[in-house]
């Protein structure tokens, strides 16, 4: 497919992608847009041109603070919107081409949190990450807990502190148990970390008491975003037994602003790792359920403004896939709602440069990570920005996620 709109080479937002997001520009209220190259297609303006007349979409759904109402139109309609825009962007006679209000430069727009997140669940689905953590803190010869290979471990996180790329965060404060101390101290976190994850957004409601099968789970996934699940390792270490993470995780999670639809990722499906032992029947699945998504993490110190890539990983490494996560999440009758967000858990690969957190890269603070400006890190310093990027590429087709970027500021 060739588009009449200029698309920079190696743009994440190719004609094959067309992700959805929420933006504002030119004093207009927030609204639904589609990213293409360095521009945004304003779907309110497109609706005014009667491009979606056969779908009967009300402008109140498109002129909106969040995507939730749009997602609520159902996959049949949201897929058609994307396909209609794709068709118009490859048609020289499209009215979009001559309508100046329908195409907005990204440089002139502000991007916003794409969905109103009702509930957020974080999983722990990378066997490499879980093994690294188990080796570091428990038994290197037997790093996984007995349940890990039998179910997708997860916990319910804090939805209110999920923020969009570009929103900076402050170093959290809490209780920390210093090494060799006999009582905790109240302190700013000394071990601030990123966690390289991907999130996905639920696109369909389920009813309380029902279960979603792995074969039907794709129908409940609207799309995916990059997800930086910030972590205060020292606060988390002291608090997490027996009920899991709390203050060490709930202060912020950053996501990318453009939601890449599951349909745009269809050509990048791959097989996941072999699961051994065999899973229980409700977790069995058919077909390719992992995705070949290249991921990277960079640290950008404010003082030097010199970026260093510290991690290069891939979403295909995930042991537990999204379909299994949804099946497990709902097997007890828990209902899902449009806009709920699920996160993968830290995505680590087998090589040391593919570890998805500073905890692993520095091996608990024992190893310095050298940056391109001559400085080094074991964890994240104040005024460091963490930048995560992700893209798929196959047969000269690129579908990307842009980036999620946030700066760590000192404690308030």
Catalytic positions: 129
Bond preceding residue 67 cis, omega within 30 of 0: no
| Residue 349: both structure tokens together | 């690969």
- Of 118, 117, 111, 119, which Cα lies nearest the Cα of 20? 111
3-state SS string for 47-108: HHCCCCCCCCCCHHHHCCCCCHHHHCCCHHHHHHHHHHHHHHHCCCCCHHHHCCCCEEEHHH
User: What is d(CA 195, CA 309) in angstroms, rounded to the nearest whole number?
Assistant: 14
User: What is d(CA 151, CA 158) in angstroms, rounded to the nearest whole number?
Assistant: 22
Q: Element (H or E) spanning 358, and its range? A: helix 358-361
Q: Alpha helix locations (H) across 173-256?
A: 233-239, 247-250
DSSP 185: E
Asked if 259 and 114 count as a contact pair (C-beta separation under 8 A), the reply is: yes
Cα 9 to Cα 12, 19, 89, 340, 398, distances in angstroms: 9, 17, 17, 34, 10
- Of 158, 172, 157, which Cα lies nearest the Cα of 122? 157
Greatest Cα pair distance, the chain, in angstroms, is 74
Cα 76 to Cα 36, 203, 223, distances in angstroms: 22, 11, 14
CA dihedral over 7, 11, 17, 18, signed as positive or negative = negative
């Amino acid at each position: 497919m060739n588009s009449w709109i200029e698309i920079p080479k190696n743009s994440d937002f190719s004609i094959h992608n067309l992700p959805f997001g929420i933006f504002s520009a030119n004093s207009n209220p927030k609204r639904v847009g589609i990213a293409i190259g360095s521009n945004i297609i304003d779907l309110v303006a497109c609706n005014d041109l009667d491009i979606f007349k056969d779908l009967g979409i009300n402008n109140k759904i498109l002129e909106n603070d969040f995507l939730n109402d749009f997602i609520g139109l159902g996959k049949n309609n949201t897929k058609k919107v994307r396909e209609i825009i794709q068709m118009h962007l490859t048609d020289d006679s499209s009215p979009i081409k001559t309508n100046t209000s329908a195409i907005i430069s990204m440089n002139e727009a502000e991007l916003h949190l794409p969905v109103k997140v009702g509930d957020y669940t974080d999983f722990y689905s990378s066997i490499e990450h879980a093994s690294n953590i188990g080796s570091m803190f428990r038994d290197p010869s037997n790093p996984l807990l007995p349940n890990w290979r039998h179910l997708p471990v997860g916990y319910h996180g804090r939805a209110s502190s999920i923020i969009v790329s570009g929103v900076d965060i402050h170093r959290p404060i809490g209780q920390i148990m210093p090494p060799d101390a006999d009582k905790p101290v109240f302190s700013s976190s000394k071990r601030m970390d990123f966690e390289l994850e991907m999130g996905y957004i639920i696109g369909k409601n389920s009813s309380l008491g029902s279960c979603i099968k792995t074969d039907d789970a794709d129908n409940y996934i609207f799309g995916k975003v990059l997800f930086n699940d910030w972590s205060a390792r020292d606060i988390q270490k002291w608090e997490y037994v027996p009920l899991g993470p709390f203050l060490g995780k709930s202060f912020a999670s950053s996501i990318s602003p453009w939601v890449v639809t599951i349909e745009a990722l269809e050509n990048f499906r791959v097989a996941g790792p072999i699961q051994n032992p065999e899973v229980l029947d409700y977790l069995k699945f058919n077909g390719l359920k992992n995705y070949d998504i290249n991921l990277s993490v960079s640290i950008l110190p404010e003082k030097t403004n010199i970026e260093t890539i510290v991690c290069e990983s891939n979403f295909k490494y995930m042991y537990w896939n999204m379909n299994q996560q949804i099946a497990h999440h709902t097997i007890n009758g828990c209902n899902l709602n449009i806009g709920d967000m699920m996160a993968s858990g830290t995505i680590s690969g087998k090589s040391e440069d593919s570890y998805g957190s500073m905890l692993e890269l520095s091996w608990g603070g024992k190893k310095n990570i050298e940056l391109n400006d001559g400085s080094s890190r074991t964890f994240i310093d104040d005024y460091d920005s963490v930048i995560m990027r992700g893209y798929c590429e196959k047969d000269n087709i690129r579908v990307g996620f842009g980036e999620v970027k946030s700066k760590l500021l000192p404690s308030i």
